[in-house]
Amino acid sequence: MQTKFTPVSGQDPNNIPYNPNATLQEQVMQSFSASKKNLGTSYIDSFFLHSPLKTHKETMIVWNAMEEIYNLSGISQLGISNCYDLATMQKLYDDATVKPSVLQNRFYQETHYDVDLRQWCLDHGVVYQSFWTLTANPNLLKSTEITDIASSKNMTPAQVLFRYLTQVGVVPLTGTTSDVHMIEDLAIFNFELSDAELDKIYKILPNSGVVLQL
Ligand SMILES: NC(=O)c1ccc[n+]([C@@H]2O[C@H](COP(=O)([O-])OP(=O)(O)OC[C@H]3O[C@@H](n4cnc5c(N)ncnc54)[C@H](OP(=O)(O)O)[C@@H]3O)[C@@H](O)[C@H]2O)c1
């Protein structure tokens, strides 16, 4: 059960789940309560900061509020998303008392698939979660490298991409309105890609050196 605090800059101004005029710390507290209410739960496993704020100082005010909630509410982990700059991630990690356990980023060519950040995550025991994995990668899904492997295994290209990611240390997030897709998404754990197949896909995810270092 995962939810996040999104700063005012990332909110729909007509639907902010906290008082935007409150202090940052109060905003985090109100947002966390609103999330639990909306989800109908008293318990959250994983609490995220949607993205770094404009300054490191502001980011740390929010992070410290999240740490307070972590200490009081029995949350298992804190994380951050939309953090595409390694120095920003490193600074948060250095200054945090409760270290970020997860980085959740858009997985796409524009950021070179976060190769540096993914390596940093592996080195620091931080889980890397990908989103927009299918949405942002139609070319990967259409590539012969992936479609050939999919046909040979009687799987879909989406399943092969998701399976590849799990085998190189990424946790892909996805969502679906389709029963068939949901079954397919969960079935990725019923097969495995060989080293040769991993290598084929590795060649079309440029600069993705992570696979070699697992
Ligand atoms: N931190 C952030 O800023 C942020 C931003 C966006 C999303 N997220 C997170 O990421 C999660 C995933 O969302 P996403 O949009 O990024 O996911 P995605 O994997 O890029 O795309 C999901 C789309 O792919 C389709 N799909 C799912 N499984 C499929 C399959 N096996 N074969 C073919 N199509 C399939 C779904 O459509 P159908 O309904 O037709 O199956 C859905 O429209 C969200 O739930 C959210 O938690 C985070």
Answer yes or no: is 106 within a domain.
no
Residue span of the structural domain in which 177 resides: 133-214
Query: Which residue's CA is minimally distant from atom 14 of ligand 1?
Result: 132
Contact 140, 205 (CB under 8 A): yes
Residue among 28, 24, 33 at smallest CA distance from 54: 24
Domain count, the chain: 2
Answer yes or no: is 210 within a domain.
yes
Question: Which residue matches tokens 């440029």?
Answer: 206
pLDDT at 206: 58
Using the 8-state DSSP alphabet, how is residue 205 labeled? Answer: S
User: Which of helix, strand or coil describes residue 131?
Assistant: strand
Answer yes or no: is 128 within a domain.
no
pLDDT at 207: 52
Contact 79, 73 (CB under 8 A): no
**What pairing do the DSSP bridges indicate for beta strands 46-49 and 77-81?**
parallel
Integer Cα distance of 4 and 28 in angstroms: 9
pLDDT at 205: 81
Please give the chain's pLDDT, 214 residues, in tens: 999 999 999 999 999 999 999 999 999 999 999 999 999 999 999 999 999 999 999 999 999 999 999 999 889 999 999 999 999 999 999 999 999 999 999 999 999 999 999 999 999 999 999 999 999 999 999 999 999 999 999 999 999 999 999 999 999 999 999 999 999 999 999 999 999 999 999 888 855 555 444 4
Answer yes or no: is 127 within a domain.
no
Last residue of a domain, one of 41, 76, 100: 100
Question: Which residue matches tokens 């966390």?
Answer: 32
The closest-lying atom of ligand 1 relative to the alpha carbon of residue 48 is 1
Compute, in angstroms, the gap from residue 177 CA to the centroid of ligand 1.
Answer: 10
State the helix-helix crossing angle for 157-167 and 179-186, rounded to 10 degrees. Answer: 30
With the most atoms of ligand 1 within 8 angstroms of its CB, the residue from 49, 134, 140 to mutate is 134
pLDDT at 213: 43
